[in-house]
Structure 1
Amino acid sequence: MPRRDYEDDPNAPKANSLVPAASAVVVDDDGRVLLQRRTDNGMWALPGGKMELGESLADCAIRETFEETGMTVEITGIVGTYTHPGHVFSYDDGEVRQEFSICLLARPTGGTLRTSDESFEVAWFTPDAIDDLPMVPSIRKRVDDWRTGQAPAVR
C-alpha cells in the first residue's frame, strides 16, 4: 500500500489514526548501518513498522527488521522518540497516520540479507555513505540523531 509522508505541510490531510511503531538503527561491528529501499516510495529507510498486539516495542523492532531485511538483531539501546503531530503518513486506503515511533539501536546477531515485499534493496552503508542516499527527512533525522549520539527532546 503506497504511502506519502507529510511533515509540517499545511496541505497535509488530517490524521485519523495513531499507531505505535518501532524502527531500528542496526549497526554492525564495522560501524555500518543496515538500510532498506522501500517499495512504497523508493527511498532508503531504517527497518521498522507498526507494533502488533501482544508484543513489546523491542519485539516489534526485532520482528520488523527480520521481516524486511532477513537479519536477526539484538536491541542495545534507544535512539529517540518521534511523536511529532505535524508528521503524518497518508495511505491509499484513506488512513492518515500521525507519527508515533520509537527508534531503537540494535546489533546484528545472524541472518542473511534479503529483500521483502516492503523492500526491493537491502544493504549495509558506512555513515558517510548515507548522506547521499535518497531518504525522507524523518528517517534522516533518526540516522543523524544516532550519529550525534544526542537523543532528541520529546516532541
Structure 2
Amino acid sequence: MTRTEYYDDPAAPEPNSLVAAASAVVTDDAGRILLQRRRDNGLWALPGGGMDLGDSLPGCAVREVKEETGLDVEVTGLVGTYTDPRHIVAYSDGEVRRQFNVCFTARVVGGTLAISEESTELRFVDPGELDALPMHHTQRLRLRHFLDHRSTPYLG
C-alpha cells in the first residue's frame, strides 16, 4: 500500500476518517535521533502510528516504536500535539485520513534494532544531518520543536 501526504494543498482529497496517532523522538546517548525510512512513501519519519482501541497515547507510542524498530522504549516527555486540519494522508486502499498526532520523547530500555515491514531502513541520525534527508514537512516540524528544547509542549 502506498501513502501520499498533503499539506495545505487544495488538490488534497477529502478525508474519510479521523485517526488518533502517536510518534516518538527516540534518542541515543550521543543525542542522535531514531528515524525510519518508510516503505509506503520512501520518506524519513519518526516511528509512530495509529492508536488501537486498547491503547493510551503513550502506550501507542511505545507499541509503535517496538513494532517498527524492534526497540523497547520508555516515554520521557511530550514534544507536542499536531492536529492541523491541513495535513491529509491518503492511502492507495482509499482511506484518506485527517490524522492528529501526539509526539513524545522516549529513551531506549531494551530490544534490538530491526527493520519491520513498514520500513526499508532504520538509523540514529545526528541532528545536523536532518536537513539532508527527504522528509515530510510535518515530521520536520516535530523534530524542530524537539530540537528547540521548548519549555512547554507545542499545541497545534
TM-score for the superposition, normalised by structure 1: 0.96
Give me the whole-angstrom Cα distance separating, in 1, the residues matched to 2:26 and 2:126.
Answer: 12
Query: In the TM superposition, what is the alpha-carbon distance from 1:99 to its structure 2 partner?
Result: 2.2
Distance 1:143 1:57 in 2: 19
Partner of 2:48: 48
Q: Secondary structure at the match of 1:117?
A: coil
- Matching residue's letter, 2:124: W
Following the alignment from structure 1 to structure 2, what is the Cα–Cα distance between the partners of residues 94 and 120? 23
Counterparts of 1:101 and 1:117, CA distance in 2: 21
Look up the equivalent residue of 1:110 and give its one-letter code: G
Matches within 5 A, 1:112-131: 112-131=112-131
Partner of 2:110: 110
Which structure shows the higher strand fraction? 2
Shift of residue 94, structure 1, vs aligned partner: 1.2
Report sequence identity in percent.
55
Tell me what 1:61 maps to.
61
Letter in 1 for 2:146: W
Measured against aligned partners, the alpha-carbon deviations of 1:14-70 in whole angstroms (never above 9, x if no partner) come to 111101000000011211100000000111100000000111111110010011011
How far apart are residue 88 of structure 1 and its match? 0.5
2:154 aligned partner: 152
In the other structure, the counterpart of 2:25 is 25
CA RMSD of aligned residues (A): 0.9
Give the whole-Å Cα distance in 2 for the aligned partners of 1:49 and 1:34.
15
* 1:141 alignment partner, SS class: helix
Q: Deviations over 1:99-138 (max 9, x none)?
A: 2110011011111111010001001111111121111111
Distance 1:82 1:64 in 2: 17
1:100 is paired with a residue of what secondary structure? strand
C-alpha separation between the residues in 2 aligned to 1:110 and 1:118?
A: 20
| Kept after mapping to 1: 8 A contact 2:82/2:155 | no
Aligned length: 154
Aligned to 1:99, the other structure's residue is in SS state strand
Q: Which residue of 2 aligns with 1:82?
A: 82
In 2, Cα distance between the equivalents of 1:137 and 1:55?
A: 27
The 2-side partners of 1:91 and 1:14 are apart by: 12
Once residues 32 and 143 of structure 1 are traced to their aligned partners in structure 2, the CA distance between those partners, rounded to angstroms, is 12
